[in-house]
Structure 1
Amino acid sequence: MEKTTAIAVFESLASGVRLDVFRLLVRQGPAGLVAGEIAAALELPATNLSFHLKALTQAGLLTVAQEGRYQRYRANLALMQELIHYLTAECCMGQPAQCTELDAAADCADCATAPATV
């Protein structure tokens, strides 16, 4: 990951609303949510939400797919994992064997079996 990409991601997540949206979509996993479901879950007006969804999409944190009249948003989990790797690449002074707890915590293998909540 490039430093400029990491900065763009952090700038996008610096908004409390955008952080809430991203975390909600991470919980949903690959199923994602349509914009109306996101607005309802976070109790946000649709006009306010669209601004934040656009910013998250431009930063690469969300993907969006058209489904008829609706747009389904999904968290870009690969980018999230790439960011975690970028932040921890030199953990324990470049000796990753010492960072086994960090590796276990960053493993998202259980994401697929975790219950999705709105």
Structure 2
Amino acid sequence: MKTEDALDALRALGQEHRLAAFRALVQAGPAGLAVGELRERVGVPPATLTAHLNVLRGAGLVADEREGRSIRVRADFARMDALLAYLTENCCGGAPCPPGSLPTGRRSC
């Protein structure tokens, strides 16, 4: 991931409702959520959610797909993984990470 792409993603996530929406989509897994369900979980008006999703789309963090009369939104897990890899690329200067320095479940940087 390029620095500018990482900055775009971090800017997109740097707002309370966008971060909440992205986290809800990550928790939903690959199936994602219908826009109406996402709106209920985040608790914002429809037009506000649309604006937030446009920012997340622009950063490449989410994608959507029409399913009949509804739209399903999914987190882009590859993009999320690329951002995490970018942020931890030089973790601990290439040395083994000390115990407790990695998020739960991660074995290496």
TM-score tier (shorter): 0.7 to 0.9
Number of residues of Structure 1 aligned to a counterpart in Structure 2: 105
Query: Do the aligned residues in 2 keep the contact of 1:84 with 1:106 (CA within 8 Å)?
Result: no
Higher helix share: 1
Query: Do the aligned residues in 2 keep the contact of 1:9 with 1:60 (CA within 8 Å)?
Result: yes
- Within 2, Cα distance between the matches of 1:103 and 1:55? 27
Give the match's secondary structure for 2:18: helix
* Structure 2 alignment gaps of length 5 or more: none
- Within 1, Cα distance between the matches of 2:5 and 2:44? 28
User: Percentage identity across aligned positions?
Assistant: 39
Q: CA deviation at 1:32?
A: 0.4
TM-score (norm 2): 0.87
CA pair 103-45 structure 1, distance change in 2 beyond 3 A? closer
Q: Which residue of structure 1 aligns with residue 38 of structure 2?
A: 38
| Paired residues for 1:73-92 under 5 Å | 73-92=73-92
Deviations 1:20-73 (A, max 9, x none): 000000000011001111111122111111100111011100011111121110
Q: CA deviation at 1:106?
A: 4.0
TM-score (norm 1): 0.81
Q: Which residue of structure 2 aligns with residue 112 of structure 1?
A: none
- Give runs of ≥4 in structure 1 deviating > 6 Å: none
**Structure 1 counterpart of 2:41, one-letter code:** A
Q: CA deviation at 1:103?
A: 7.6
- Within 2, Cα distance between the matches of 1:106 and 1:73? 27
* Structure 1 alignment gaps of length 5 or more: 108-118
**Structure 1 counterpart of 2:24, one-letter code:** L
- Within 2, Cα distance between the matches of 1:67 and 1:20? 23
**Structure 2 counterpart of 1:86, one-letter code:** Y
| Paired residues for 1:42-57 under 5 Å | 42-57=42-57
